[in-house]
């Protein structure tokens, strides 16, 4: 069942070599937890993370890469959106600092569905004829066992060590509101452990109201929760606050160089406290 931790305690449970599932920018990104991770001393910094984006990422993946924590990334895209390309990601590709596992969104999502169902793989349409197939030797083409002349791609189940996201609300029983973002449930179902930061923790059970219960991730799937107001900043959080476009643009500018990136991180926790 879910335990309640501080932000630093929660971040400290992410260790070397773990596979880490993170959501897209619209679903609620645990940016404060990410900054807390990167702020750790070099000897305590988790390295060789295998990052799996559900199904794309932005500033969060770029920061983990820039800090040298990532040995592989599985994603359909990394982009800062309106602020442009992800600079540490693009630089890492050129320098080969991590293994790139390019995907397409529904194939990644299908991997999580297989993971949550406990089956070894999931079939997915499309893909055949894309150069992604050569880039992903772990994806296979099989013959549809139920029809003739129908090749179809299968992707292996994804079972991350850790899923990490930010949500508006948890209750004191460990249930977490995820609204319409069903991919957060799939992440948590497939993951061995799920870490969640939330804007607030309520005394009333989120399952008490039948009309709202469908948008709640039950505590069964939640390992640890930390209360972190504005925990998605500078990204936005659905139903709560908008993206801080100036701050993301500032990051996009500074992160063009490793020195600028380090300077950004140096001030980021303090800027976060001001923004919160």
Partner 1 sequence: MTGAPATDREILIATITDLLDGVRTVAVGMSSPIPAAGAMLLRARNEANGRAPVRIIVLGSRDHNFLTNGAFELFDAAAQGRIDAFFLGGGQIDGQANINLVGTGAYPDNEVRWPGSFGSAFLYFVVPRVILFREEHSPRVFVEKVDFVSAPGHSEGVARSGGPHALLTGKALFDFDKARQRFRLRSVHGGASVSDVRALTGFDYDAADTVSTTPAPDAGTLALLRGRVTDELAETYPQFAATLAAGFAA
Nearer to partner 1, 90 or 201 (CB): 90
The verdict on 225 binding partner 1 (CB under 8 A) reads no
The verdict on 100 binding partner 1 (CB under 8 A) reads yes
**Minimal distance, residue 100 CB to partner 1, in Å:** 5
CB-CB neighbours of 151 under 10 Å: 9
Nearer to partner 1, 38 or 79 (CB): 79
Q: Is 202 in contact with 168 (CB distance < 8 Å)?
A: no
CB-CB neighbours of 76 under 10 Å: 19
Nearer to partner 1, 42 or 211 (CB): 211
H-type alpha helices, the chain: 7-12, 31-38, 59-66, 87-95, 105-117, 132-135, 182-190, 245-254, 258-275
The verdict on 54 binding partner 1 (CB under 8 A) reads yes
Beta-bridged to residue 54, according to DSSP, are 23
The verdict on 240 binding partner 1 (CB under 8 A) reads no
Task: For residue 148, count CB atoms less than 10 angstroms from its CB and return exposed for 0-12, middle for 13-18, buried for 19 or more.
Answer: exposed
Q: 177 to 216, contacts with partner 1 by CB under 8 A?
A: 180-186
- Residues 6+ positions from 174 with CB-CB distance below 8 Å: 1, 2, 219, 222, 225
**Minimal distance, residue 216 CB to partner 1, in Å:** 14
The verdict on 248 binding partner 1 (CB under 8 A) reads no
x/- track of binding to partner 1 for residues 22-41 (CB under 8 A): --x-xx--------------
Interacting residues toward partner 1 by CB under 8 A: 24, 26-27, 54-56, 75-79, 81-82, 85-86, 89-90, 93-94, 96, 100, 102-107, 109, 124-132, 135, 149-152, 180-186, 238
């Amino acid at each position: 069942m879910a335990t309640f931790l501080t932000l630093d305690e929660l971040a400290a449970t992410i260790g070397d070599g773990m596979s880490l599932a993170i959501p897209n920018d619209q679903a609620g990104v645990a940016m404060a937890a990410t900054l807390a991770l990167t702020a750790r001393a070099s000897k305590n910094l988790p390295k060789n993370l295998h990052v799996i984006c559900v199904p794309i990422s932005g500033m969060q993946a770029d920061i983990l890469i820039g800090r040298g924590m990532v040995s592989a990334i599985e994603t359909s895209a990394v982009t800062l959106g309106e602020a442009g390309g992800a600079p540490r990601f693009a630089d890492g590709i050129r320098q080969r600092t991590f293994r790139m596992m390019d995907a397409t969104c529904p194939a990644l999502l299908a991997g999580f569905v297989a993971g949550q169902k406990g089956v070894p793989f999931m079939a997915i349409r499309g893909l055949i004829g894309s150069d992604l197939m050569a880039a992903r030797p772990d994806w296979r083409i099989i013959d549809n066992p139920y029809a003739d002349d129908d090749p179809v791609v299968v992707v292996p189940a994804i079972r991350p060590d850790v899923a990490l996201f930010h949500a508006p609300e948890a209750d004191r029983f460990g249930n977490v509101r995820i609204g319409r973002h069903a991919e957060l449930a799939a992440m948590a179902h497939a993951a061995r452990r799920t870490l969640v930061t939330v804007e607030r923790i309520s005394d009333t059970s989120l399952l008490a109201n039948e009309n709202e219960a469908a948008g709640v991730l039950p505590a069964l799937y939640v390992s640890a929760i930390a209360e972190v107001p504005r925990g998605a900043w500078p990204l936005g959080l659905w139903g709560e606050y908008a993206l801080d476009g100036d701050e993301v643009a500032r990051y996009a500018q500074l992160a063009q160089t490793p020195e600028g990136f380090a300077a950004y991180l140096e001030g980021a926790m303090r800027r976060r406290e001001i923004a919160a």
